[in-house]
Structure 1
């Protein structure tokens, strides 16, 4: 099969880029795979897509490049194709409309894969007849605005399949979107086996990693660790990552007198060696679309203490087997879970081995095989043209119905 991914930018360092490259690299072992990046901001990608994956871009945004297109008059005009409900809309323009439309109208791919809602919508509307159309959801339906949900409901009937990274989100899609004929399937993100020796569980470090953003609730983790360290002052907490919460977290550490125990380490790439230096992983988010850092820590042999937030942790961690789940924001519960692992070397090491074993199900080879099965079924599906024609009619009917009822009534649970 010829498989073509369409991504906002393949040259940055976000989670969607990394998981797209992981999947593309795996599929490229058996198939012809390309990643088409709408924008190119740097000469070389931050992550390596692999030698068999072709990476190319549609709009060159490198200011030092002779092909720089940021000053193109068409790029100053707002996009009419990329949905306004997608937060990336300000980046898109009449120039990207033309380039994406030209790409989708002339692609020779058997399967075209979108990686964010706005691009999924363009794939649904603009891909030529023939290729299977697959839209990936890397976030969650529940966190999308009401405006974006309405747009998705009007366009997604033209897709052949939608994948989510959790079963919980797949259930939301089936319940809220009502997409007859569109296959909705949960396929998790993949995480490769690390190139480091797994943790032996003896290093007295709790490790956390990710963006220093409000939703990650590192303040909760710091407070919980502060309670645990009263009993176990021989342990420390390392938090890797950067973001707007750094100064506030630094103030909290100083306020609680934890400056000798809690360390903001900054970003680390690759992160695997840092996980392996620890003995416990920790994730205290109020919301996760999947929980990539949980899997990363487990693949390095760490049991993970995580909040049981929507949507991912409860589908990754087997509570009491390879980690512990605690209620969101519950500092005492998180602290008790940390102490159970700190105080019991045998338990910590046993759960670390279990984490290493259970996280193998997220290996790219296993996830890639599931994607290959889905794509093969879509390519061999009969009546694709009829399905998409019906999707156009259904999407139009949904749009008309939702306009009459109003966005607030059409789909509950989204931001305005």
Structure 2
């Protein structure tokens, strides 16, 4: 089977790029896989890609930024989407041409605007899966209207958390479209796990306001006061760098808190720490949380929507604290800094619990979604959920999802015929 991912820019740095590369590489062991990058701005990707996965760009910004068609606004890519200004009539044409000519059996979109392209421009024979890496509540009302009109033409819509999947089922009218949570996968670590002895807290991600590194630094000041031999390393780059550097100086933490810049991959940095931390106001999933746990670190995180609470078991493999609460965050960090045995035990538990995000399990779930879409088109009942996928999907099983499968299959044949008339 040939599977194609449509990605905004495979040559940048970000969570969606990381998880797309991870999933594509895992699928490549059993399928023919390609990543199609709508844009390109440099010669090579920041992340190493398995040679089994082909990569091709559609618009090379190094040479086509001033192309006449790229100076005209996009018509297919929705205007309410966050990245609308980066798209154009040129991207409309190139994406449309790629979809018209693709030999893929399955095309997977990786952001709302690209999912709209799939809905309007992909040929009828292709299985269409739209991925949402943000959340429904994060989208503006205007964008939700555009997505509601387009998403009804998809076979499947995936979210990264059960909470967001439930929101789509509850708030969006998408008859015949399967909506399921598909967690991001993290490759099996190649380095020995952290042993919990290093006096280092590690954080990673874009240096942007929503990640609240200012709150983390202020919370870590409580740790440094009591344990001046502990350090906080923050990996990433972004607009907040200058402000965070000034805050570190103002709090007298120049010998304790370090802005390390970007690192890819992060595995070699996670294993140098003993605790991971995130202070975000909003986290659609929490890729860095899983990465850290797979490397043997307990994670102290704000309990923000939607991801952390679905990944971390509070008091078992990490700690969850209220959003925007510096003292609670500092206290949770101190709790693990003070107790060596508990910290190490929680790290070992985190490593074990995070195995549910191993690529093999997520690949199995993707294959099940594709098989279910094919069955639905044929009006057949889908195959039973495999045991491994069932472990990931325990929340859906508790909802009686088998009954939903049967109803979906019976209704989808007629709905597919209706969609043919809309294209």
Greater Cα shift, 142-151 or 73-82: 73-82
Which of 138, 141, 145 in structure 1 is aligned with 2:140?
A: 145
How far apart are residue 43 of structure 1 and its match? 2.0
Which of 80, 88, 94 in structure 1 is aligned with 2:75?
A: 80
Q: 1:387 maps to which residue?
A: 415
Which of 182, 193, 197 in structure 1 is aligned with 2:192?
A: 197
Specify the SS of the correspondent of 2:271.
helix
Residues 265-311 of structure 1 show CA distances to partners (whole Å, capped at 9, x for unaligned) of 22222221111111111011010011011111111110010000001
How far apart are residue 218 of structure 1 and its match? 1.0
Superposed counterparts of 1:11-410, under 5 Å: 11-63=11-63, 69-381=64-376, 382=378, 386-391=414-419
Residues 307-347 of structure 1 show CA distances to partners (whole Å, capped at 9, x for unaligned) of 00001000000001100100011111111111111111110
How far apart are residue 49 of structure 1 and its match? 2.6
How far apart are residue 392 of structure 1 and its match? 7.7
Q: Distance in 1 between matches of 2:110 and 2:304?
A: 23
Contact 1:6 1:38 in 2 (8 A): yes
How far apart are residue 99 of structure 1 and its match? 1.6
**Ranges in structure 2 where 5+ consecutive residues have no aligned partner:** 380-411
Bigger relative CO (Cα 8 Å, ≥ 6 apart): 1
Q: Distance in 1 between matches of 2:36 and 2:231?
A: 43
Greater Cα shift, 46-55 or 349-358: 46-55
Greater Cα shift, 251-260 or 287-296: 251-260
**Ranges in structure 1 where 5+ consecutive residues have no aligned partner:** 64-68, 397-416
TM-score, normalising length: structure 1: 0.90
Aligned residues: 390
Greater Cα shift, 72-81 or 301-310: 72-81
Specify the SS of the correspondent of 2:355.
helix
* Aligned-pair Cα RMSD in Å: 1.7
How far apart are residue 208 of structure 1 and its match? 0.8
TM-score, normalising length: structure 2: 0.89
Q: Distance in 1 between matches of 2:334 and 2:271?
A: 19
